[in-house]
């Protein structure tokens, strides 16, 4: 019997070898941010600059490689491998499965960027496009679809497959990402390497989620101050964060099926309402025309935009945007892969990969196209000077004031406030669940980690977010993600190698290669 099958599925315990180092590092980051916000922010920004200046090529290569690997998984000879027993139906219905994937993976960050991101691109267009030109508006609407589209969702899908394979084909009785690397790890020193992997995964998740909350808390604070006509302040931000933590903790305490699934279903309904409202109440035809144009523009320029490093002019656009986004998605992979893998029992590899990419892209493209299209409409018609608001008040107030400009603006603000709260709740729920799973011993794949651990990590995520908010700088928020993403690149490679080896070991002899050749005697007779 193999080692992983011999593990006793007893009451899950905390793995202190992972928990304590992760806790120490998180506190070591959070405390300086709170006590010395300016110095800490400068350190983080310089670190981000060094990484992106020297390794942008690596991040872009990993992104495109992830997409290619997904295509091989979805359409290659192992596409029909089932992640579970042969006659077992999927654990979750398609609706619940898609809802949990979308809300866990995206969260309120899509709302934080939705209205503002195209305006950033409008101010500093890529590819040498003239500022203020018609082309700049088209590319400003297209680029969010690239940054939240095929490559990002491929980055999520790649590690999700070996996680699901480990759980439901190899039948590991533990819910640990490092265990999915077993196929690529040496026997000697394996446990120590796996502990290091788990620590890096935890730190990546913390960095990614802290970035999301660092964007969303100011957004919610700005929307509340706009709604009630009060001055925004750090007190409001911290109050929002504290109330959020209570909501997160309550939902996390209830668990995966009782808490996260319900919030995910509610959020999908609210997203649909928000999108339809903007299309109906706003310039629906303009947004739809712009969206179709952007989809064509994106697919026609997919390879060039996904690999553009601007090597001659050496502009900062690829580092500031495409490189950052790939890093952000990489940092999230630990959480997303384990969560996606955990909820994908009973599906094939093809269903998992295409489900993640297709449904994920459909959701993000729809939301971002509608939100970004509306803000570009306001800017192009002069109905609202969105660019000036971004320059003077920041991206949080872009979102708040653009939403308020809709018919029934106060009502729209309320909808987006509720949406932001629940979106963030599902993200933090999923994050705390995954982190506590990584920090657990002997955790069966069908069980949940200790409640106190889930709640503790929800609080710690809020703590490091509070530290980030003290700096008050967008660069600090973005830098956290880039720094925490670095170790995820080699971990991604290990997961891919492990999966390929497992597939060849378990199913290689069952898959007929599509190759035809004549026998040696036939070749001799023909000659």
Question: Is residue 120, in this structure, part of any structural domain at all?
Answer: yes
Q: Average pLDDT in the 51-73 region?
A: 96
Q: Is the pLDDT of residue 465 over 90?
A: no
Model pLDDT, residue 3? 44
488-507 vs 324-342: helix axis angle to the nearest 10? 40
Question: Is residue 315, in this structure, part of any structural domain at all?
Answer: yes
Give 259's Cβ-side CA count (13 Å radius).
24
pLDDT over 90 for what percent of the chain? 44
Q: Which of 287, 329, 372 is nearest to 114 (CA)?
A: 372
The answer to whether 437 and 337 have CB atoms below 8 angstroms apart is no
For tokens 């960095």, the residue is 207
Report how far residue 495's alpha carbon sits from residue 481's, in angstroms, rounded to the nearest whole number.
Answer: 21
CATH classification at residue 439 = 1.20.1740
Model pLDDT, residue 515? 53
Q: Is the pLDDT of residue 473 over 80?
A: no
Q: Which of 177, 214, 242 is nearest to 480 (CA)?
A: 214
The answer to whether 493 and 180 have CB atoms below 8 angstroms apart is no
pLDDT digits (tens, 9 = 90+) for 379-427: 999 999 999 999 998 888 898 999 999 998 888 888 888 888 777 776 6
Model pLDDT, residue 457? 81
- The answer to whether the Cα torsion of 107, 109, 115, 118 is positive or negative is negative
Q: What pLDDT band is residue 107 in, cutting at 50, 70 and 90?
A: low
Question: Is residue 526, in this structure, part of any structural domain at all?
Answer: no
Question: Is residue 340, in this structure, part of any structural domain at all?
Answer: yes
Q: Which two tokens stand for residue 503?
A: 């597939």
Q: How far is CA 193 from CA 17, 44, 161, in A?
A: 12, 27, 21
Domain range for 69 is 4-509
Looking at the chain, how many residues does it have?
527
Q: Which two tokens stand for residue 304?
A: 């060039």
Q: Please state the φ and ψ torsions of residue 196, each to the nearest 5 degrees.
A: -60, -40
Question: Is residue 213, in this structure, part of any structural domain at all?
Answer: yes
Residue 130, burial from CB neighbour count under 10 angstroms (0-12, 13-18, 19+): exposed
Report how far residue 217's alpha carbon sits from residue 436's, in angstroms, rounded to the nearest whole number.
Answer: 23
Domain count, the chain: 1
Q: Which two tokens stand for residue 32?
A: 């300086």
Question: Is residue 23, in this structure, part of any structural domain at all?
Answer: yes
Question: Is residue 519, in this structure, part of any structural domain at all?
Answer: no
The answer to whether 12 and 449 have CB atoms below 8 angstroms apart is yes
The answer to whether 342 and 100 have CB atoms below 8 angstroms apart is no
Q: What is the mean pLDDT of the chain?
A: 85
Question: Is residue 489, in this structure, part of any structural domain at all?
Answer: yes
Q: Is the pLDDT of residue 122 over 60?
A: yes
pTM: 0.88
Q: Average pLDDT in the 276-297 region?
A: 95
């Amino acid at each position: 019997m193999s080692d992983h099958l011999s593990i006793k599925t007893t009451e899950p315990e905390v793995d202190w070898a992972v928990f304590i180092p992760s806790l120490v590092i998180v506190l070591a980051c959070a405390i300086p941010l709170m006590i010395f916000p300016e110095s800490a922010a400068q350190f983080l920004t310089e670190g981000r600059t060094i990484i992106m200046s020297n390794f942008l090529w690596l991040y872009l290569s990993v992104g495109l490689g992830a997409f290619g690997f997904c295509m091989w998984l979805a359409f290659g000879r192992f596409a029909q491998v089932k992640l579970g027993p042969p006659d077992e139906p999927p654990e979750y219905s398609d609706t619940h499965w898609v809802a949990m994937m979308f809300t866990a993976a995206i969260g309120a960050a899509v709302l934080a960027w939705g209205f503002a991101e195209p305006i950033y691109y409008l101010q500093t267009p890529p590819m040498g496009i003239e500022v203020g030109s018609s082309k700049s508006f088209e590319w400003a609407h297209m680029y969010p679809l690239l940054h939240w589209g095929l490559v990002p969702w491929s980055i999520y899908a790649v590690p999700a497959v070996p996680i699901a394979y480990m759980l439901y084909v190899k039948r590991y009785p533990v819910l640990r990402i490092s265990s999915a690397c077993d196929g690529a790890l040496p026997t000697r020193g394996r446990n120590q390497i796996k502990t290091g992997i788990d620590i890096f995964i935890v730190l990546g998740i913390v960095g990614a989620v802290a970035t999301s909350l660092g964007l969303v808390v100011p957004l919610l604070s700005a929307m509340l101050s706009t709604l009630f006509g009060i001055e925004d302040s750090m007190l409001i931000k911290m109050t929002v964060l504290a109330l959020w933590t209570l909501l997160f903790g309550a939902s996390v305490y209830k668990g995966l099926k009782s808490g996260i699934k319900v919030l995910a279903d509610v959020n999908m309904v609210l997203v649909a309402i928000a999108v339809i409202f903007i299309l109906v109440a706003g310039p629906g035809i303009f947004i739809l025309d712009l969206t179709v144009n952007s989809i064509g523009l994106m697919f026609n320029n997919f390879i060039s935009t996904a690999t553009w490093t601007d090597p001659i002019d050496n502009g900062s656009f690829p580092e500031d945007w495409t490189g950052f986004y790939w890093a952000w998605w990489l940092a999230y992979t630990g959480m997303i892969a384990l969560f996606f893998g955990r909820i994908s029992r009973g599906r094939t590899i093809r269903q998992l990969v295409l489900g993640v990419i297709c449904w994920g892209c459909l959701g993000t493209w729809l939301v971002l196209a509608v939100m970004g299209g509306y803000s570009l409409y306001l800017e192009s018609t002069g109905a609202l000077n969105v660019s000036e608001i971004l320059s003077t008040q920041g991206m949080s107030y872009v979102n708040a004031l653009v939403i308020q400009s809709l018919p029934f603006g106060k009502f729209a603000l309320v909808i987006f406030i509720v949406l932001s709260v629940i979106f963030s709740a599902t993200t933090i729920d999923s994050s705390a669940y995954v982190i506590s799973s990584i920090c657990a011993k002997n955790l069966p794949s069908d069980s949940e980690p200790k409640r106190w651990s889930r709640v503790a990590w929800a609080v710690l995520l809020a703590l490091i977010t509070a530290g980030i908010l003290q700096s008050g700088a967008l660069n600090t928020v973005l830098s956290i993600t880039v720094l925490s993403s670095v170790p995820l690149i080699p971990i991604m490679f290990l997961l891919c190698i492990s999966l390929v080896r497992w597939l060849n070991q378990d199913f290689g002899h069952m898959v007929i290669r599509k190759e035809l050749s004549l026998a040696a005697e036939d070749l001799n007779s023909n000659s």
